[in-house]
Structure 1
Amino acid sequence: MPQKLISAPLVQLGETRGTLKLGGGITWERLTPRDVPGADFLKITYDVGGASCPEGRRQTHPGHEFGYVLSGRLGVTVGFDTTEIGPGDSVYFDSATPHRLFDAGDEPAVGVWMVHAPFGSPE
């Protein structure tokens, strides 16, 4: 039987994952064992009706976002364009472009997400 790692600087064990519950029905789970300057590697969950900001609003920040949907439907608005992505679909966009993410189905949308903000970018 393989030995289970107790603690390793490069491994994030599932049962010790850091979790943030954000407003708007969003949960982030950190997939790295510690902070990584300039990057967030996350499991994201958008509850039914959850959104990164209210409808009609958009957010911006330095960097780039990369996402992969595991289950559910995620609405993605970037600039003036909106699309829905589902299991197996992925997305990339420059997060300086106004954007909004939202659950677009009748079940939570779950995915793997990376937000990359270059070193030296304003927080």
Structure 2
Amino acid sequence: MVEHDSHALDTIFHALGDATRRTMLGDLAAGERTVGELAQPFAMSLAAASKHIKVLEAAGLIRRDIRGRTHVCSLDPAPLMSADEWLGVYRRFWTDRLDTLEQLLRADDAAPPPPKPTLPRKEGE
């Protein structure tokens, strides 16, 4: 199993734990965005957007470049690889479990149906 830096994973999953930050990351996957562009879909202040961006920066998920007075953010997907590797253990677990379930269901479908129970006859029938 791959060893992971627990603090780094905690920081990454904390950053990913908020829907606003996940949406910001999704926007950044399409290309660079200014802080204002990241804030716009949420109708939030630049100060509020900046707080979210600082959390993403602390997790190493984004980089912020200052170009004059404009702050431009870009995605740094490398830390997501360690989160994906950690999740991979559980992905394999569930894939194995679901494969086993599929085999059991196919075997059940292929098995002949059980015989129908017959009721004992009463005298005189």
**Which structure's relative contact order is higher, taking Cα pairs within 8 Å and 6+ residues apart?**
1
TM > 0.5 fold call: no
Q: Give TM-score scaled by structure 1 length.
A: 0.25
**Structure with larger Rg:** 2
